[in-house]
């Protein structure tokens, strides 16, 4: 069967009238010629040269043929041999349902909606089914019986894994085949984290793609993002849990922490989209396990969090000793050392402090250093040393820095070396009454330190007298841990790569404030560092994630099953903490029009996979014919050697 | 004339030379190179050179002061000043502005090249040369002269000329005749179309004033046998009259009439005792220069 890739170009065949008109016009036109004298020239009849007329007609036909062939070649003619109708063409539309069974489909009533959509499709047509989460869970061809599809859906529920749609779409396209009318119905909640940015295979323009979005994301949901425990005073453990309110309105969210024989609950008020930290203080349980649980909401899988509640090993703190120009900073180091190494019988040692000269080779010893303490030292470091600190931070290290005499230079160097965007803004003016010191503002709920200070300890913190500090303009990503009553940040924490940079606007010695002399100093310093230092005994994984290579070698092959469900397990010296991936908690939807455009773009893969549909392109032959005609036309229309041109007026 | 000299006088070759001065010098020097002709030396006022005294030479040209100083005999040689005037009459009508396919230059350009060569040759021989270009009115008039850049003036005038309008041979030649005072040679450069009655008669009048006349007719080859093209709408350059004709159909009658006309014109010039030379624009300039020299010899 003859068809054209660009049939609209066939209108160009109307242009065949042009050479015809040109021949007609040229035939009756006499060329003007200025001549010196027409005295002896007499008018004559027009020539009747039969040979010339014949040549003209031949030229006309050649030009018409040339033009017609060129237009037809441009229109992209193709010949498809007639074939017997395939069974698929004779039959009805082939339909495949692509059903998302990732963890998020269990929430927001998405699975119920999806079952209804499937049932509606099955009532109209026989349809195949492809079920997927991280991988293709099941495939049923469209030729099968619909009861198999129903049976499968009765047997399978959404799991706890994230969704990866690309392999499933490939499988669905394979089921659809390459002939006849085809339709792919994708049923999913179309979470942005699953669909947006995924490299989806193209179904091609000849496959009708239908996107059925299920689930009601306006139903309120709170997501328990992560949690961790670390030692507190008096043999207690502090548990911090970050919770995000995904509801479109303010919401009071209650979080419970269950340990052996003990359950604590807290309730915080959340603004829409707000993330806050819950803080619990619990004794170390016997089985070292804990479970956090949110109140019931639209999506249950992110409401629980399995947690290991053991004591971590002491963290190594390395002090890069300050310059000899600032001997008073040694005083600060002494206070910090005492605070970090203070021991009581009921409190395990959390930090081991050591000192080193500023030219210490940090790059070589970075894995041994968990906290790098810089008491005003950064002002005296050179570019390579600052580069080493940046690399250390990006690799996951923790740096605590306090201001020295050269605070402006300190922050300028940090900014220039890409360590922070926090800027030095000067020193605050003293109050009119010099006897009135600066004060620390009360901690707000949701502040990571708010659970540490309550009652008398909060009062002790509020009574802290600040004699001087430096004014900072924090970077956008910084968390303010402490601030003055005037709103100036005193202690802030920001992420640099995988690490954390803790910046204090106070020096930790009595010349800046009386904080080092107060009871509040020790918990502030230890809590902030404890919250920041990663406990490398705990390995956090999402359900379905592969084990890290170092852990695979430690256990038997069955250890891979450890990540198949949420839970806490000991694997050698490491603690494996497995929870459902929080990417499935996102309520951001993918742009369906983008997805449709991506799916329906021209499929080169499908075209390559269709060797049976053989189409013969005719344009090269037509182009060749046009070339031959052009050559003949050129030869015929060339003026004979005797023909002379004349000078025209 | 040698073949190289002949090539130098080919209009196709000369047309490539941009200005008339270079063209005329190239053509004329090439033309005269084999003839060993030199300036006419003799009586005049312009000192040219010394020459050894030979017995029999006129003693009045002996330089006595030089003899007293050097005790040798020398005679002074002066550049002869002749009374010969060369008048170049140039037809600058629109009919001269035609260049057929066979010709290297237009008729007017060919006539200008001829005029330039003649002026150069006359200037080289010490003759007074002038230019009188016309169509239906006077276009350029340069009275005959010899010194002071006369040649340059003529060549610049030729450069300025543009062939336009019809030619009024009768009135213009009469105007020219009124100011003719001295003996000389009148050279008429024209295509001489439709003036077979006027031009020979006017040139005849000049002979009565002791002037020799030379009629150089410049034609394009197309004018002799029509261009070989299809049906054309011929438009007369001067009158604007149009005739639609197929050259192949009327070529026979045209050539016959043209031949008759040329014969009539030749007969008219013979009756007027005016030398007539018909040239086509693809012919060498040498024919015209040779014919001029012939007349110059006859006048001297």
CATH number, residue B135 = 3.40.50.410
CB atoms within 10 A of CB A249: 10
> Is the confidence at residue B269, as pLDDT, over 80?
yes
> Is the confidence at residue A326, as pLDDT, over 50?
yes
CA-based nearest residue in chain A for residue B190: A36
Q: Note the pLDDT of residue A558.
A: 62
Q: What are phi and psi of A169, to 5 degrees?
A: -65, -40
> Is the confidence at residue A299, as pLDDT, over 50?
yes
Within a domain: residue A297? yes
- On whether both B153 and B75 belong to a single domain, the answer is no
Q: Note the pLDDT of residue A647.
A: 39
Within a domain: residue A649? no
pLDDT digits (tens, 9 = 90+) for B123-141: 877 788 899 999 999 999 9
- On whether both A117 and A228 belong to a single domain, the answer is no
Percentage of chain B beyond pLDDT 70 is 81
pLDDT confidence tier of residue A443, bands split at 50, 70 and 90: confident
- On whether both B56 and B168 belong to a single domain, the answer is no
Asked if A47 reaches chain B (Cβ–Cβ under 8 Å), the answer is yes
CATH of residue A123's domain is 3.40.50.410
pLDDT digits (tens, 9 = 90+) for A487-502: 899 999 998 888 889 9
Of the candidates B241, B258, B261, the beta carbon closest to that of A38 is on B241
> Is the confidence at residue A555, as pLDDT, over 70?
no
**CB A97, CB A111: distance < 8 Å:** no
**CB A224, CB A257: distance < 8 Å:** no
Q: Which residues of A touch B244 (CB under 8 A)?
A: 30, 43-44
Within a domain: residue B15? no
Q: Note the pLDDT of residue A428.
A: 84
Within a domain: residue B267? yes
pLDDT confidence tier of residue A90, bands split at 50, 70 and 90: low
CB contact under 8 A, B220 and A45: no
Lowest average pLDDT, out of A6-15, A39-48, A250-259, A400-409, goes to A39-48
- On whether both B154 and B263 belong to a single domain, the answer is yes
- On whether both B209 and B184 belong to a single domain, the answer is yes
CB contact under 8 A, A41 and B258: no
Within a domain: residue A320? no
Helix-helix angle B150-160:B107-124, to 10 degrees: 180
Strands (E), A563-615: 567-571, 574-579
Q: What are phi and psi of A372, to 5 degrees?
A: -110, 120
CA-based nearest residue in chain A for residue B218: A36
Of the candidates B95, B231, B233, the beta carbon closest to that of A47 is on B231
**How far does CA A579 lie from the centroid of its chain?**
20
pLDDT, mean of residues A423-445:
78
CB contact under 8 A, A34 and B235: yes
Lowest average pLDDT, out of A141-155, A228-242, A551-565, goes to A551-565
- On whether both A381 and A457 belong to a single domain, the answer is yes
- On whether both A488 and A398 belong to a single domain, the answer is yes
Within a domain: residue B1? no
Chosen domain end from A494, A512, A532: A532
- On whether both A192 and A306 belong to a single domain, the answer is no
- On whether both B111 and B51 belong to a single domain, the answer is no
Within a domain: residue B14? no
- On whether both B48 and B167 belong to a single domain, the answer is no
Of the candidates A37, A42, A43, the beta carbon closest to that of B95 is on A37
- On whether both A184 and A163 belong to a single domain, the answer is yes
Supply the mean pLDDT for chain A.
81
pLDDT, mean of residues B45-53:
76
**CB A104, CB A189: distance < 8 Å:** yes
- Sorted by sequence, the CB contacts under 8 Å of residue B10 that are 6+ apart come out as B104, B284, B285
> Is the confidence at residue B98, as pLDDT, over 90?
yes
The rounded distance, in Å, linking the Cα atoms of A358 and A373 is 11
Structure tokens at A160: 């706890």
Within a domain: residue A640? no
Q: Is the pTM of this model over 0.80?
A: no
> Is the confidence at residue B104, as pLDDT, over 80?
yes
Polymer length of chain B: 300
pLDDT, mean of residues A369-393:
87
Pick the residue with more confidence: B289 or A474?
Answer: A474
- Sorted by sequence, the CB contacts under 8 Å of residue A489 that are 6+ apart come out as A472, A474, A478, A480, A482, A483, A505
Chosen domain end from A532, A553, A574: A532
Pick the residue with more confidence: B41 or B185?
Answer: B185
Asked if A46 reaches chain B (Cβ–Cβ under 8 Å), the answer is yes
CB contact under 8 A, B100 and A30: no
Q: Note the pLDDT of residue B3.
A: 41
Within a domain: residue A207? yes
Q: Note the pLDDT of residue A645.
A: 40
- On whether both B70 and B95 belong to a single domain, the answer is no
- On whether both B112 and B187 belong to a single domain, the answer is yes
Asked if A30 reaches chain B (Cβ–Cβ under 8 Å), the answer is yes
- On whether both B166 and B193 belong to a single domain, the answer is yes
Q: Note the pLDDT of residue A91.
A: 60
Q: Note the pLDDT of residue A492.
A: 92
Q: Note the pLDDT of residue B235.
A: 92
Within a domain: residue B18? no
In the block, residue with structure tokens 């005679």: B75
Lowest average pLDDT, out of A14-28, A413-427, A583-597, B16-30, goes to B16-30
- Which residues of B touch chain A, with CB atoms under 8 Å apart? 95-96, 98-102, 107, 191, 193-194, 220, 222-223, 226-238, 241-246, 248-250, 253-254, 257-258, 261
- On whether both A392 and A470 belong to a single domain, the answer is yes
CATH of residue A234's domain is 2.60.40.10
Within a domain: residue B109? yes
Pick the residue with more confidence: A592 or B132?
Answer: B132
The rounded distance, in Å, linking the Cα atoms of A336 and A342 is 10
Polymer length of chain A: 649
Count of structural domains within chain A: 4
- On whether both B134 and B47 belong to a single domain, the answer is no
- On whether both A384 and A412 belong to a single domain, the answer is yes
Within a domain: residue A644? no
Of the candidates B228, B242, B250, the beta carbon closest to that of A644 is on B228
- On whether both A498 and A388 belong to a single domain, the answer is yes
For B236-265, give one letter per residue: b (16+ CB within 10 A) or e.
Answer: bbbeeebbebbbebbbeebeeebeebbeeb
Q: Note the pLDDT of residue B80.
A: 58
Percentage of chain A beyond pLDDT 70 is 88
> Is the confidence at residue A641, as pLDDT, over 60?
no
- On whether both B156 and B251 belong to a single domain, the answer is yes
**CB A173, CB A184: distance < 8 Å:** yes
Q: Which residues of B touch A43 (CB under 8 A)?
A: 243-245
- On whether both A288 and A237 belong to a single domain, the answer is yes
Within a domain: residue B36? no
Pick the residue with more confidence: B208 or B94?
Answer: B94
Q: Are strands A499-504 and A182-188 parallel, antiparallel or unpaired?
A: unpaired
pLDDT confidence tier of residue A230, bands split at 50, 70 and 90: confident
pLDDT, mean of residues A122-130:
84
Count of structural domains within chain B: 2
> Is the confidence at residue A607, as pLDDT, over 50?
no
What number of H helices and E strands is found in chain A?
17, 28
Within a domain: residue A316? no
Dihedral sign from CA coordinates of A247, A249, A250, A254: negative
The rounded distance, in Å, linking the Cα atoms of A36 and B98 is 7
pLDDT, mean of residues A39-63:
74
- On whether both B135 and B256 belong to a single domain, the answer is yes
Q: Note the pLDDT of residue A362.
A: 78
> Is the confidence at residue B73, as pLDDT, over 70?
yes
Q: Note the pLDDT of residue B37.
A: 43
pLDDT digits (tens, 9 = 90+) for B209-246: 778 888 999 999 999 888 887 788 899 998 899 998 88
Q: Note the pLDDT of residue B287.
A: 81
- On whether both A128 and A40 belong to a single domain, the answer is no
- On whether both A137 and A275 belong to a single domain, the answer is no
Within a domain: residue A62? yes
pLDDT confidence tier of residue A346, bands split at 50, 70 and 90: low
pLDDT, mean of residues A5-13:
85
Residue B61 structural domain = 41-79
Asked if A640 reaches chain B (Cβ–Cβ under 8 Å), the answer is no
Q: Note the pLDDT of residue A50.
A: 47
- On whether both A474 and A487 belong to a single domain, the answer is yes
Within a domain: residue B34? no
Q: Note the pLDDT of residue A559.
A: 62
Q: Note the pLDDT of residue A648.
A: 35
Residue A73 structural domain = 2-81+618-631
CA-based nearest residue in chain A for residue B105: A647
CB contact under 8 A, A42 and B250: yes
């Amino acid at each position: 069967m003859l068809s054209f890739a660009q049939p609209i170009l066939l209108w160009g065949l109307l242009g065949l009238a042009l050479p015809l008109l040109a021949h007609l016009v040229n035939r009756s036109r006499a060329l003007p010629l200025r001549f010196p004298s027409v005295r002896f020239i007499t008018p004559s009849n027009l020539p009747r040269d039969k040979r010339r007329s014949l040549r003209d007609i031949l030229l006309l036909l050649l030009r018409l043929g040339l033009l017609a062939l060129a237009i037809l070649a441009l229109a992209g003619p193709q010949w498809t041999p007639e074939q017997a109708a395939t069974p698929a063409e004779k039959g009805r539309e082939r339909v495949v349902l692509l059903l998302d069974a990732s963890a998020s489909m269990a929430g927001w009533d998405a699975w119920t909606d999806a079952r209804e959509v499937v049932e509606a499709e099955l009532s109209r047509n026989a349809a195949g089914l492809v079920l997927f989460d991280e991988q293709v869970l099941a495939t049923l061809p469209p030729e099968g019986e619909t009861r198999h599809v129903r049976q499968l859906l009765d047997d399978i529920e959404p799991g706890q894994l994230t969704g990866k749609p690309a392999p499933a779409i490939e499988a669905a396209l394979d089921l659809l085949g390459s002939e006849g009318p085809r339709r792919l119905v994708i049923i999913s909640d179309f979470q942005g984290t699953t669909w947006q940015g995924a490299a989806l295979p193209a179904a091609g323009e000849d496959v009708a793609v239908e996107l059925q979005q299920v689930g009601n994301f306006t139903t309120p949901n709170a997501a328990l993002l992560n949690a961790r425990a670390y030692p507190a005073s008096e043999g207690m453990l502090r548990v911090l849990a970050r919770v995000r309110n995904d509801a479109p309105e303010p919401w009071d969210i209650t979080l419970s922490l269950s340990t052996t024989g003990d359950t604590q609950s807290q309730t915080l008020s959340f603004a829409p989209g707000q993330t806050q930290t819950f803080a619990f203080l619990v004794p170390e349980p016997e089985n070292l396990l804990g479970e956090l649980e949110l109140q019931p909401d639209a999506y249950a899988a992110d409401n629980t969090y399995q947690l290991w509640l053991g004591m971590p090993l002491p963290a190594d703190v390395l002090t890069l000793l300050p310059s000899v120009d600032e001997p008073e900073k040694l005083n600060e180091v002494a206070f910090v050392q005492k605070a970090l190494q203070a021991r009581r019988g009921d409190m395990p040692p959390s930090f081991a402090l050591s000192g080193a000269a500023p030219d210490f080779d940090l790059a070589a010893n970075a894995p041994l250093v968990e906290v790098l303490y810089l008491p005003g030292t950064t002002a005296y470091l050179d570019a390579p040393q600052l580069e080493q600190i940046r690399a250390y931070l990006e690799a996951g290290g923790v740096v605590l820095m306090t201001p020295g005499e050269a605070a402006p230079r300190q922050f300028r160097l940090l900014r220039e070396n890409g360590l922070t965007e926090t800027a030095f803004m000067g020193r605050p003016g003293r109050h009119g009454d010099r006897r009135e010191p600066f004060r620390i503002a009360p901690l707000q709920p949701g502040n990571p330190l708010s659970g540490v200070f309550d009652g008398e300890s909060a009062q002790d913190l509020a009574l802290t007298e600040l004699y001087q500090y430096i004014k900072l303009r924090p970077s956008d990503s910084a968390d303010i841990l402490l601030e003055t009553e005037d709103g100036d940040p005193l202690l802030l924490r920001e992420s640099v790569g995988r690490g954390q940079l803790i910046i204090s606007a106070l020096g930790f010695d009595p010349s800046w404030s009386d904080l080092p002399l107060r009871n509040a100093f020790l918990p502030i310093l230890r809590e902030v560092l404890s919250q920041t230092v990663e406990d490398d005994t705990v390995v956090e994984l999402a359900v379905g994630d592969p084990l890290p290579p170092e852990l695979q070698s430690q256990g038997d092959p069955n250890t891979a099953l450890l990540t198949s469900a949420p839970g806490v397990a000991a694997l050698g010296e490491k603690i494996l903490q497995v929870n459902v991936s929080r990417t499935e908690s996102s309520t951001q939807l993918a742009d369906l029009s983008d997805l449709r455009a991506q799916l329906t773009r021209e499929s080169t893969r499908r075209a390559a996979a269709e060797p049976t549909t053989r189409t013969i392109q005719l344009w090269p032959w037509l182009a060749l014919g046009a070339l031959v005609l052009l050559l003949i036309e050129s030869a015929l229309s060339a003026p004979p050697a005797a023909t002379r041109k004349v000078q025209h007026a | 004339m040698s073949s190289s000299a002949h090539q130098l006088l080919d209009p196709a070759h000369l047309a490539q030379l941009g200005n008339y001065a270079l063209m005329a010098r190239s053509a004329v020097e090439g033309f005269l190179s084999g003839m060993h002709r030199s300036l006419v030396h003799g009586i005049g006022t312009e000192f040219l050179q010394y020459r050894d005294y030979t017995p029999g030479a006129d003693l009045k040209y002996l330089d006595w002061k030089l003899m007293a100083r050097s005790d040798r005999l020398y005679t002074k040689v002066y550049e002869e000043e002749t009374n010969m005037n060369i008048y170049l009459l140039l037809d600058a009508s629109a009919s001269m502005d035609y260049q057929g396919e066979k010709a290297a230059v237009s008729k007017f350009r060919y006539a200008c090249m001829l005029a330039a060569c003649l002026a150069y040759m006359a200037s080289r021989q010490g003759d007074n040369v002038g230019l009188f270009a016309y169509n239906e009115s006077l276009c350029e008039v340069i009275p005959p002269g010899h010194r002071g850049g006369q040649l340059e003036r003529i060549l610049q005038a030729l450069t300025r000329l543009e062939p336009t309008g019809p030619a009024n041979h009768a009135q213009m030649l009469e105007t020219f005749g009124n100011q003719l005072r001295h003996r000389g040679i009148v050279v008429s450069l024209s295509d001489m179309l439709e003036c077979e009655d006027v031009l020979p008669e006017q040139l005849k009048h000049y002979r009565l004033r002791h002037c020799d006349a030379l009629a150089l007719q410049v034609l394009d080859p197309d004018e002799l046998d029509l261009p070989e093209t299809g049906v054309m709408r011929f438009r007369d350059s001067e009158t604007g009259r149009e005739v639609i004709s197929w050259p192949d159909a009327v070529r026979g009658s045209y050539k016959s009439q043209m031949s008759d006309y040329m014969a009539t014109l030749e007969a008219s010039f013979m009756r007027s005792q005016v030398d007539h030379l018909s040239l086509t624009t693809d012919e060498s300039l040498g024919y015209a220069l040779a014919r001029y020299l012939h007349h110059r010899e006859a006048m001297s």
